[in-house]
Structures are given as C-alpha cells and as structure tokens.
Amino acid sequence: MKPIRRVLLSVTDKSGIVEFARVLTKYGAELVSTGGTARTLREAGLTVLDISELTGFPEMLDGRVKTLHPKVHGGILHIRSNAEHQKAVAEHGIQPIDMVVVNLYAFEATLHKPGVHFAEVIENIDIGGPSMVRSAAKNFEDVAVVTSVADYASLTDELQANQGQLSRATRWRLAQKAFALTAAYDMTIANALETLPADPPAATATAVLPKACDEPLPATLRVVYPKAMSLRYGENPHQRAALYANGSGTGIAGLHQLQGKELSYNNLVDLDACWELAQELKDPAVAIIKHTNPCGVATAATIVEAYEKALACDPVSAFGAVIGINREVDGEAAAKIVKLFVEAIVAPAFSSEAKEILSAKKNLRLVEVKPAPAAPVMKHVSGGMLMQDADCGRIEACELKIVSKRPPTQNEIDALLFAWRVAKHVKSNAIVYARNGQTLGIGAGQMSRVDAAKFGAMKAILPLDGCVAASDAFFPFPDGLEVVVGAGATAVIQPGGSVRDSEVIAAADRLNTAMVFTGMRHFRH
C-alpha cells in the first residue's frame, strides 16, 4: 500500500473531478493543478496550489509549457527506494507527486468539429498530458496515474477502505490503462494527420478530412479497439472470440441489446450483414439473413408489409435467421415477427408496444443500433492484413446504360435497382430475382454464374414470371442470361465488361429481354 500525499490534477473532462478531489483531501492529500482545472477546484471551495507555484516558473506560450518541468517530472519519476534519486530531488527542492490525474485534450472531437481550422486541430495535440501520464505509469511502483473518469468511483472506494492508500495491484492496473491510452491517442493523431494535405494549409484554413470513401488508405495500418465484450466462443465451440469496438457507439459494435440471450460470434456477423443490407434501402425495408446471405428482402409502405414480403421469399430458410430493419419496429410488425423462430432482430428502435410483444420470446435478442459512417474493410490473411474501401458504390436510374433493343419499363427499372442493391450484399457469384420491391429467389456463393442463376430459380417459391434479375458481375457467356430469362425474368441488370458482351447483348435481343449495364460490379467474398 502507498499513501497519496500530493496529487497533480490536469483534466480536460472535468466530470466528477471535484468530488474525487474532495476524497483525496479528506485523507490529507495536497492538490496541485493547472489552469482551468485549478479554477474549477477553487470555485468548489478546495485549496489548490498552482503548478507555477510548484515549479517556480510561470505557465507560458498560451499554456503549451506548464507541466514540462523537472519539478513536475522529477516529482513523478524519482524512485522512492533509490538513495541516489532521493539525494537528487532533495538537492533540487523537488517534492514527490504520488498521484497524477490527467485526461487528454479532446483531439478527435476537435478534428471532427464542423468547419474546424487546421491550426485548432494542431493545437489540440496534447504534449504535457501524455508526458505526465507516461512518467506516472512508468513509475507505478510509487505513483498512481488516473486517466479515466470511470475509475474515480472504484478508487474512492479503495481510498476510503485503506485510509487514503492504494495497492500495488491497483497502481499496476492504472499504469496498463494509461499506456493503452497514450498509444491509442498517438495513433489517432498519426492516422488523422496522414489524411490531411502534404502542404499544411494556412492556420485559418478549414481542416477538411476526406469522406470515408475518398480517404486514402494509410501508409501504416494502426488499429486500437478496446474489448467491448467477451463471447462464449467463435464460429465453433473450440474457437475463442471477443468483440472489439472503436468507441463511437455506432454500428453493430456499438449496439444496445434490449433483451434476449447473450449474443454469439455468428449472431454478430449475421446482424452486421442484415443491418448493412437494410441500411442500403431507402424505403421501409426488412432483410432476413442466414449465414450472412439474404434469404428474403423486401421494401413496402410499412414495416409489417415489408416483413411479410421478405418472409414469403423463403420461409423455410428464415427459420432461425436474423432480421435487419431500417425503421422503428412497431407493434403490428412485432406481432407478425413473434410467430417465427428468430435468433435476433436489429433495428434503429423498437416501440414500447413492440418491446412488450417481443418480450414473450425471452431468448429473442433485440438490438438497437445507430448507423455508422462507412469505414475501410479489413480482413486477416496469413502474415498480414488486407484493407479496402467500403463498397460505397450506388447506381441511380439516370446512370444505367441500356444496351438491349428493348428498353426496360419504369416498373422494371425500379425492380432492377432494388435487385441490384440486394445483390451487392449477396456472396459472389450472386444472382437475385426480384419483383415489386421483393426478392423471389437468391443464388448465392456459387462457383459458376450459371449455377447461381439455376440455384436462385430453384429456390424460388413465388412465381418468377415477369420478374427481373440482377447479376453482381458480368455474364461471361450467354448461358447465364438464358437461364434467368428461361426462369421468367424479362429484364436484367449487370455490370457489363465481358469480352463477350456483344454475344450476351445479342442473346438478350433474341429473347426480347431488356438489359442494362451499371459499369460497376459488386463482388462480395
């Protein structure tokens, strides 16, 4: 156990700092502080020594230099059991500092402020804070370093239980957390500055970060995601697993679970797939996913209608699926969904009536999610990582290239665009049959495109006559087109770009089929 006799406090986030400081003073600790933190503590009636009184040197350069001083770092870093260290600090009048309470300038929040100036971004790179944190963490045998408001409560309990002293185990835990903080902070800065122009703009220029899909891929991949939750196991029981989150509170990693069993690794993977697909569609939409592939997707005027249409595509595969919905789930939709065995439902919100209805299924996981901005996609390979842009590609009607003699009707165009957006989320090779905002048959993950076309038609329960078909990549031969037309499709959407495009277009004309090219493919591996 080590007593806390002198504390240096310098925090950007002042939540709870007054209450924590009061606990420290209760056990005789002297408070030393800087600028705004000192002012906050004094206004609360606490006695505080200014950092300039400790160092004998004024804060200067607009606060850039205040804690970078031997009387600060010497007070933190000297080893109490080392006679030479004790002699040195005594000779120079350096007083020991037993605890450092610091949180860092809000660099990332500043970075994303609308219209923030370049100079303000640079000014919010903390120097003194990380230096004190690292010094205190390195000397954890003698010094406690507190970097998170979330730790105040447990430290208060320990201080009260031990008359103002902290254990070595606590100091070690705090040091580990402190080094993780400074590592993540430096990586955030490095990643952000890498995206800004090579020639820094004038100080008053706006520091515009590239949009997610325009942002250059980093020269060095730096990733720090704290563990959000441990999982029972991975894809299979013999594999360990955990979920790590970027701290934004958005996307599947930032989900809020309302009810149901613990989420599994496979649940999370499927939830991510159906959430992303549901978000792709602008109208009220429902996506039913099994093993990351959709087995039914639909849009309609209401969520309950969209659900009924999506379920009708493949009700057998929907058993035990996960469901993604892009609107609040209301009571009417919940009353229909509760009749089906479903592993999990993800939506932006659930009405109180929906929650009550769905609570009848105690094991059903209900998950609320806030949309996340598009981010680069990473995948492990042996010995390294692959990274690519998120697939932000979206085609609108005006961008379609009509290549057949017969142009598609407006109803066909609407259905083609719907099928195309679903195909983007189907494992390649992918063929999607659809009509009136409803999938009818989905051929996913086949080794040949013609087999995907056959499989999608084979899976169809609803009639395919008069439907449309989407192919995530070009038809390499006319045979795939002939299969979808033979199944009932009257119009087809595909990227084009095959050396045999002319043969495929000729086959479309021979079959009186409307065909459009997107000029964009959507492979999904």
DSSP lists the bridge partners of residue 32 as 8, 49
Those residues whose C-beta lies under 8 Å from the C-beta of residue 422, and which sit 6 or more positions away, are 277, 280, 294, 297, 432, 434, 439, 442, 470
Peptide bond into 429 cis (omega under 30): yes
- Quote the CA–CA distance of 311 and 317 in Å, as a whole number: 9
Token representation of residue 346: 């993800």
User: Per-residue DSSP letters for 383-421?
Assistant: TEEEEE--------GGG-EE-SSSPPPHHHHHHHHHHHH
| Three-state secondary-structure class, residue 73 | helix
Q: Are the C-beta atoms of 369 and 346 separated by less than 8 Å?
A: yes
Given the residues 291, 336, 355, 405, select the one marked as catalytic. 291
**Is 113 considered catalytic here?**
no
Report how far Cα 73 is from the mean position of its chain's Cα atoms.
37
- Quote the CA–CA distance of 406 and 338 in Å, as a whole number: 45
Block residue for tokens 């703009």 = 201
Those residues whose C-beta lies under 8 Å from the C-beta of residue 299, and which sit 6 or more positions away, are 281, 283, 284, 285, 306, 309, 418, 437, 438
Given the residues 14, 117, 138, 261, select the one marked as catalytic. 138
**Is 522 considered catalytic here?**
no
User: Which residues are catalytically annotated?
Assistant: 138, 291
